[in-house]
Amino acid sequence: MKQIVLIVILAAVAAAVPLFVGESPYFMGIMISVLMMAALSSAWNLLGGYAGQYSFGHAAYFGAGAYTTMILISLFNLNPILCIVAGMVVACIIALITGSIVFRLRGHYFALASIAVAEIVRLSVLNFEFTGGAQGILLSDVSLWGLDLNSKNPFYYGMLLVLVITLAITAQLRKSKTGFYLQAIREDQDAAASLGINLAFYKNKALLISAVLTSVLGSLYGVYIRFIDTSAVLDLKLSIEIILTAIIGGVGTLWGPVVGALLLVPLAEMLRSNYLGDVLVNAGLVSETSAFGLFLKENLAHAHVLVYGIITVLCILYLPKGILGLFRRVK
């Protein structure tokens, strides 16, 4: 109950943010990314954190939502809400296929198979005609209930809503029978099975909830950006970003993914917009015209994945329970 109250309070604070920022599309853009990554990572955390099943292919569900929605809107001009529901159905089908194949196995196999499924989805989308292939899908116009979809606000609240729902589900799950079953599976699969827990059923349940939430975020992302291609919504890189966010914040904690997203997304944005390079130049550490300065200017924007790699390695070696895990240990 305490957690639910906290979620509601923080959601109310987050809901008020656009009123104060007003018309800063740049800031709102970053905030939408933070909310989206927090929600994606929380949805992943349901399966990875609580059931201990590390999916390395969550991009497949994100892409399923994004592609289903974009295709249906661009071909039939359906109501976006219906498209989101269709995306959820497609994600469910992919999740059920994946789950039925791999949840009979343990350990390394689920991680490997989840990548294989995601790659099959990615390559299929790339090779089919109706998905736009390598060119992706561009949406010129979209409307819903007279909302101004050119402004960022509807998407900010949309992402926030999904995040709140995901956190609420997580908070409820932790105290429910299913939640305890999942944690038992995570801690010791054999012991859980010997106590009569149906392993495949509960793992599939967690995967389905996680996949459906992820697909809704994919749908929102597609309509928000109005352009998708496989490298944006189906790449392994996205799956890994989702995991890293949870790891850095704290796997298997309610707020870990949110903390991870608040740290990582602005960091990535700083690197992408070359803020770090500018700081080094302005501080007089590097001359802008020197070879090294030019190199930084040219390449540092591409370095955010490198920084992610370094953070992952340091995190696993020194902070395997994430930032929130650190606090818990102190307590």
Backbone angles phi, psi at 151, to 5 degrees: -85, 165
Q: Is 93 in the site for other proteins (CB under 8 A)?
A: no
Q: Is 165 in the site for other proteins (CB under 8 A)?
A: no
E strands, the chain, in order: 137-138, 227-228
DSSP 177-228: HHHHHHHHHHH-HHHHHHTT--HHHHHHHHHHHHHHHHHHHHHHHHHHHSEE
What token pair was written down for 212?
A: 């459906």
CA distance 171 to 99: 24
CA distance 205 to 193: 16
CA distances from 30 to 21, 88, 191, 237, 272 (A): 12, 26, 44, 19, 12
Shortest Cβ 277–other proteins spacing (Å): 13
Residue from 7, 32, 40, 52 binding other proteins (CB under 8 A): 52
* Contact range with other proteins by CB under 8 A, out of 29-37, 38-46, 70-78, 311-319: 311-319
Q: Is 102 in the site for other proteins (CB under 8 A)?
A: yes
Residue from 4, 12, 89, 124 binding other proteins (CB under 8 A): 124
Q: Is 271 in the site for other proteins (CB under 8 A)?
A: no
Q: Is 107 in the site for other proteins (CB under 8 A)?
A: yes
* Contact range with other proteins by CB under 8 A, out of 17-25, 50-58, 215-223, 265-273: 50-58
Q: Is 309 in the site for other proteins (CB under 8 A)?
A: yes
List the one residue out of 198, 182, 200, 189 whose CA is nearest residue 104.
200
* Contact range with other proteins by CB under 8 A, out of 23-31, 151-159, 169-177, 313-321: 313-321
Q: Is 111 in the site for other proteins (CB under 8 A)?
A: yes
Residues binding other proteins (CB under 8 A):
48, 52, 54, 56, 101-102, 104-109, 111-113, 115-117, 119-120, 123-124, 126-127, 236, 240, 243, 247, 299, 302-303, 305-306, 308-313, 316-317, 320
